[in-house]
């Protein structure tokens, strides 16, 4: 059995994965959602990587699962941990040495500086009671991480799955498919839900993470 280490996106709240963790555990695996210091003005990608490495310390079979900006942390951990698989969910797929701040223009996608309607962009498909509970876990992402380069030199030769929410309004499926093809030469795997699919469709997300057919050995496009 594997240890699934789940990395949240901007803000760093482990709570994002709370509906997926019990489903992975029920399948006989160990699931660990990592809480990152996203709001700290002195903690960036290197510190995030250290948190993930500490969470997986001593584990022999690690699957890294990263949502959105969490992909920048995951790629920096692949050489530090015995990672057997990598799954990216609605992810900002990084290029070597790229910063999260550069990613937007490099992928030709407009950066979201001021979100006027969080409900419409992120919570449109999340059950109301889950969205209400999430208010206590919301936190800002400090600027420091956006200016730090992703900590890898080339994409690791690790079986990789790119999961895309069919209703993602922040990163629409067609955009995510283009980036996955251009950067990894991989096709995406569609799952139900929006950008926060692990909250709105936890069963489908867990099934996709566990599905053997999801994993594809990466090779340079």
Predicted confidence (pLDDT) per residue in 55-71, tens digit:
999 999 999 999 999 99
Residue 214 has pLDDT above 70, yes or no: no
Distance CA 62, CA 6 (A): 10
All domains of the chain in start order, with CATH? 3-214 (3.40.50.1820)
176 DSSP β-pair partners: none
The answer on pLDDT for 215 being more than 90 is no
Residue with tokens 């407009």: 110
Query: Which pLDDT score, from 0 to 100, does residue 174 have?
Result: 97
The mean per-residue pLDDT over the stretch 132-136 comes to 93
Given this model, what pLDDT does residue 204 score?
97
Question: Which of 115 and 203 is assigned the larger pLDDT?
Answer: 203
What CA–CA distances, in Å, run from 201 to 86, 176, 182, 196, 197? 20, 19, 27, 8, 5
Q: Starting at the edge strand that comes first in sequence, how are the strands of the sheet with 189-191 ordered? A: 30-33, 3-7, 62-67, 83-89, 160-165, 189-191
CA 164 to chain centre: 11
Eight-state DSSP code of residue 146? G
- Mean of pLDDT values over 85-110: 97
Beta bridge partners, 87, equal 65, 161
Asked whether the predicted pLDDT for residue 26 surpasses 80, the reply is yes
Q: What integer is the mean pLDDT of 141-162?
A: 95
The reply to whether the predicted model has a pTM over 0.75 is yes
Q: What is the pLDDT of residue 112?
A: 73
Average pLDDT of the residues in 121-150: 94
Asked whether the beta carbons of 39 and 141 are under 8 A apart, the reply is yes
For residue range 197-206, list pLDDT tens digits in order. 999 999 999 9
**Phi and psi (nearest 5°) for 93?**
-70, 115
Q: What is the pLDDT of residue 212?
A: 66
Q: Average pLDDT, stretch 206-221?
A: 64
Q: Tell how many helices (H) and how many strands (E) occur in the chain.
A: 9, 6
- Class of residue 52 by CB neighbours under 10 A (exposed 0-12, middle 13-18, buried 19+): buried
Residue 142: DSSP 8-state: P
Contact (CB, 8 A) for 192 and 166: yes
């Amino acid at each position: 059995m594997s240890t699934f280490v789940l990395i949240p996106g901007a803000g760093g709240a482990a709570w994002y994965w709370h509906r997926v963790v019990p489903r992975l555990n029920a399948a006989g695996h160990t699931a660990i959602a990592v809480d990152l210091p996203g709001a700290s003005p002195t903690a960036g990608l290197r510190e995030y990587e250290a948190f993930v490495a500490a969470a997986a310390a001593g584990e022999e079979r690690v699957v890294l699962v990263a949502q959105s900006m969490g992909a920048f942390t995951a790629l920096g951990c692949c050489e530090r941990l015995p990672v057997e698989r990598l799954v990216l969910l609605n992810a900002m797929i990084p290029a070597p040495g790229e910063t999260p701040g550069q990613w937007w223009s490099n992928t030709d996608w407009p950066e979201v500086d001021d979100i006027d309607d969080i409900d419409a962009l992120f919570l449109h498909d999340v059950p109301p009671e889950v969205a209400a509970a999430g208010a206590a876990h919301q936190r800002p992402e400090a600027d420091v991480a956006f200016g730090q380069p992703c900590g890898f030199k080339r994409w690791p030769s690790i079986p990789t799955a790119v999961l895309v929410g069919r209703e993602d309004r922040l990163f629409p499926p067609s955009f995510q498919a283009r980036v996955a093809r251009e950067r990894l030469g991989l096709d995406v795997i569609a799952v139900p839900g929006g950008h926060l699919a692990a909250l709105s469709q936890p069963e489908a997300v867990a099934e996709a993470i566990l599905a053997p057919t999801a994993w594809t050995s990466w090779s340079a496009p």
